[in-house]
Amino acid sequence: MKNPVLKKSSSVFVAGVLLTLALAGAPVHADDKSPYPGTISRHASHSFDTLVKRLEQSITDNKMGLVAQASASRGAAARGVVIPGNIVLMVFRNDYAVRMLAASIPAGIEAPLRIYVTENRDGTASITYRNPSAVFAPYGNAKLDAMAAELDPVLARIVADASSQ
């Protein structure tokens, strides 16, 4: 008579070994994943500096405001340290800010929206941003959702225009 506990234990063991072997062959891209839903990354053939300039122009062309920017690579360069280019461009517009705050004061922490540009090893650059609908979704507020739905295509256009040839 077979022992059911041993049979179940050996099945679990075999499944664990198979899972481990399957995962061992899978590529790991920890740096390529975002823990946040609605995150979009887009590779551009432009250099880092060119892409940043194109984004700044695209923000203006799409009638949004460049509220602020922060760059660890520029800060490091000021100290004589060279790291790959990166910058966060913070984008919003006052009429959206007023609507956002009328809908939810706590949602104010989400503005401005961020566009992150990183320099790639091959001299090109990439853009990462979160859809405004994903940024504001946790608030469960219909007015925020409507505003975010208007902003989704605006950010998509900004990124598409800047990263196009």
Q: Is residue 27 part of a domain?
A: no
Domain that includes residue 96, residue range:
32-163
The widest CA-to-CA distance across the chain, in whole angstroms, is 78
pLDDT, averaged across the chain: 86
The burial class, CB within 10 Å (0-12 / 13-18 / 19+), for 79 is exposed
At 32 the pLDDT is 56
DSSP code at position 26: S
DSSP letters, 127-143, are EEEE-HHHHHGGG--HH
**pLDDT band at 36, cuts 50/70/90?**
confident
29, β-bridge pairs: none
Number of domains in the chain: 1
Q: Is residue 56 part of a domain?
A: yes
**Two tokens, residue 18:** 């198979």
Q: Is residue 24 part of a domain?
A: no
Q: Is residue 5 part of a domain?
A: no
Q: Is residue 81 part of a domain?
A: yes
Q: Is residue 128 part of a domain?
A: yes
**CATH code, 104:** 3.30.310.70
Q: Is residue 22 part of a domain?
A: no
**Two tokens, residue 88:** 């966060």
**Two tokens, residue 33:** 């994943």
Backbone angles phi, psi at 70, to 5 degrees: -140, 135
* The amino acid at 21: L
At 165 the pLDDT is 83
Distance of CA 33 to the CA centre of its chain: 9
Where do we find the tokens 């910058």? 87
Compare 41 and 36 and report the one with higher pLDDT: 41
Backbone angles phi, psi at 3, to 5 degrees: -80, 115
The residues, any chain, with a CB within 8 Å of residue 94's CB and separated by 6 or more, are 65
Contact at 8 Å (CB) between 119 and 91? no
Q: Is residue 11 part of a domain?
A: no
**Two tokens, residue 90:** 């913070």
Q: Give per-residue pLDDT as tens, 115-160.
A: 999 999 999 999 999 999 999 999 999 999 999 999 999 999 999 9
